[in-house]
Amino acid sequence: MKNKHSVLCLTSILVLLLTLNSCIGLSLSIQMNKDGSGRLTMEYRISKMLTSLGSLDGNDSMPSVPLGKEDWENTVSRIPGAKLVSYTSVEENQDTVIKAVIDFKDDQSLLALLDPVGEKILINRQGQSGKLDLILLKEPLDDSSYDKDVMAMMRIFMDGYFYTVNFSGPGNSTLVVTDGLGNAVPVQSSAKAVLSGRSVSYSIGILDLLDTKDGIGFRFNW
C-alpha cells in the first residue's frame, strides 16, 4: 500500500508540472525572421526519478509530452510548415535533458507548435513588425486543491529549476511582462530579464513561478 501511495503522489506531481508546461525545467527560444518564418528551440529537464515511472507519455489521463526522437518526429509531422531540424537527449546528473530544434514556415506554424488549442498565444504580424502574446499561467496555482504532502514533494523536486523564454526578431525587440489577463506588470524581483535589444529574455525559478499571485505572461514586440 505504501508503494502505491508513493506512485500516486509522484503521478500527481507530474500532472501539476505538465499543467505548468515546465516538466520541472524548461527553456524556450523563438527566432523570428522578416517573412514570419523562424526557428523554435525547446530544451526541457526531467527528473530521472519521474521518468523512471514510465508514465510520462503512456498514460491517457495525462497531457502527452514528447520524449524520444520518434515522438517529436510524429508530433512535428502533423503540423504543416514545421520541420524537426535536430533532436538530442542527454543524461546529466539527476536529469534527462531533451532538446528539440524545429523550423517553422510562418506564424501559423508557430502557433500550431506552441498552442494548438489557441488559448494562450496570439500573434499579430504586419510586414516585418509584429506582436506575440504568450500567457504562461492565467491564474496562480491553488495549492489548497492538492494534498499538502504532494505539494511539499513537488516543491522539493522544483527547487533549483528555471523557466526561461528568449525571443529574437529581425530587428530590435522588446519584452513586456504581463499578468494572466495580459496587463503589464513589473518584473518580479527574483527574475532576470532583458527587456529590449536584438534578443530579449526572461528567466524565473519554477518555485517563484508557482508563487506568482496573478498569473504571468509575456508580450514580445519586434
**pLDDT tens digits, residue range 146-200?**
567 766 776 777 778 888 999 999 999 999 999 999 999 999 999 999 999 999 9
To the nearest whole percent, how much of the chain has pLDDT over 70? 75
Residue 186's alpha-carbon distances to 41, 178, 190, 193, in angstroms, are 27, 8, 11, 11
96/89 Cα distance (integer angstroms):
7
Residue 116 pLDDT: 75
Q: With contact defined as beta carbons under 8 Å apart, do 79 and 112 qualify?
A: yes
pTM over 0.95: no
184/171 Cα distance (integer angstroms):
23
Residue 133 pLDDT: 94
Residue 162's alpha-carbon distances to 20, 46, 100, 146, 190, in angstroms, are 12, 12, 18, 22, 11
Mean per-residue pLDDT of the chain: 79
Boundaries of every domain in the chain: 2-221
Measured over the CA atoms of residue 145, residue 148, residue 153 and residue 158, the dihedral's sign is positive
Residue 59 pLDDT: 40
Which tens digit of pLDDT belongs to each residue from 89-130?
998 887 888 899 999 999 999 988 888 777 788 999 888 899
